[in-house]
A and B are shown apart, each in its own frame.
Chain A
């Protein structure tokens, strides 16, 4: 009997430390023993008071109430999963197949070549090199004879 008295407080303390001060949270098999110990033992009563203080603080933690529309949202999502998926039209299927084919990596060199050609076309249309041979000859004469020549002088040389 004395051994049982020694063991009970240890379990009582474990219960209070784990579950707090309210008997509703205690394991049912421990409830009577913990309540009895709290009535009869000052240390247990004090321990329970400390746990009750922690309980009161924990009860002040903000809580979350699910919004009213959430039930309908879940049901709608479930029904959506039930609904058979609509078969794509012939045009949609053809377009999807084409997009899928063009996304294949084998096409990458062709895309690179096409890009280079397009870049060349754009560059050629914007930049025109000096093609006038007379202007080029005049520049040559100016350098050769250390005086100014224009394109008509260069034309006389021909």
Chain B
């Protein structure tokens, strides 16, 4: 058995990347691109913007390959960079969230038999309406499957703060989506 097999695949790939191995870079992109682009999409609500953010995230990894700190966990580092890029774009108002609908309008038209597409858009709108930190917490833990410790690392907070963000996010979502399901508001 090769010694590298005992280490995390990312660590071995990062070691190769530090040496300038473009193939390792490609493998790392393949391993994490889906999650990073998916997370960026949850944050900005626009597929093209999400792809740009994912691209810039990996280019920063490429640029920093020589000074990479082996103790850092690659996955949380990538999410942290992607989240910071999303926040930068919010601050510069570069993000066009035209793919998210107006929640109130959709909710009005969703009475009676709710179409699948409408439900998807309503849920997307409810997520988009969350405060940025709550949306990031839900995106990381619920959708991308990070542990509370990993998500806390990404958002530079402690685990209690992550749980608070998650609970508040779900409470807001429950409130926004109550019309779609009668049991969501049950306490």
Q: Write out the residue numbers on chain B whose beta carbons fall within 8 Å of the beta carbon of A54.
A: 170, 173-174, 177, 181, 184
In angstroms, Cα B142 to Cα A75, docked, is 30
What's the least CB distance linking B108 to chain A, in Å?
18
User: A64-B41, A64-B47 known; A70 and B22 CB under 8 Å?
Assistant: no
| B103 contacts A by Cβ under 8 Å | no
Which of these, A17, A25, A64, A70, contacts B171 with CB under 8 Å? Answer: A17
Q: How large is the interface on B (under 10, 10 to 19, 20 to 34, 35 or more residues)?
A: 35 or more
Check if B55 sits within 8 Å of A58, measured CB to CB.
no
Q: Verify B123–A58 contact, CB threshold 8 A.
A: yes
Chain B residues within an 8 Å CB radius of A78 = 22, 25, 58-59, 62
B183 CB contact (under 8 Å) in A24, A50, A65, A66: A50
Q: Mark A29-66, 1 if CB is under 8 A from B, else 0.
A: 00000000000000000110111011011101111111
| Shortest CB distance A21–B (Å) | 11
Given contacts A58-B123, A78-B59, A81-B62, contact A64 B142 (CB under 8 A): no
Within 8 A of A (CB), among B58-99: 58-59, 62-63
Q: Does A19 contact B (CB under 8 A)?
A: yes
Q: Check if A18 is an interface residue, CB within 8 A of chain B.
A: yes
Which residue on A lies nearest to B62, using beta carbons?
A78
Q: Which residues of B contact A19 (CB under 8 A)?
A: 141-142, 148, 166
CA distance A50 to B185 in the complex (A): 8
Tell whether A61 pairs with B127 under 8 Å between CB atoms, given A50-B184, A74-B55, A77-B55. yes
Q: How far is the CA of A63 from the CA of B124 in the complex (A)?
A: 9
Q: Which of A1-32 contact B (CB under 8 A)?
A: 14, 17-20, 24-25, 27
Cα A46 to Cα B186 in complex, Å, equals 9
Chain A residues, CB < 8 A from B12: none
Contact of B55 with A50 in the complex, beta carbons under 8 Å: no
The answer on a CB contact under 8 Å between B120 and A60 is yes
Q: Which of B29, B59, B167, B170 contacts A71 (CB under 8 A)? A: B29
Which residues from chain B contact A73 at a C-beta distance below 8 Å? Answer: 55
Chain A residues with CB under 8 Å of B63's CB are 81
Cβ of A67 within 8 Å of any chain B Cβ, yes or no, is yes
In the assembly, what is the distance between CA of A24 and CA of B144, in Å?
A: 12
Does any Cβ of B come within 8 Å of A157's Cβ? no
Contact B127 A77 (CB under 8 A): no
Contact of A74 among B59, B119, B145, B181 (CB under 8 A): B59
**Contact of B163 with A by CB under 8 A:** yes
Q: What would be 8 A-B contacts, judged by CB atoms less than 8 Å apart?
A: A18-B163, A27-B147, A49-B183, A51-B170, A56-B181, A61-B124, A66-B50, A79-B22
Given known contacts A18-B163, A47-B186, what 7 new A-B pairs fall within 8 Å (CB)? A17-B167, A57-B119, A61-B143, A67-B51, A75-B22, A78-B62, A81-B63
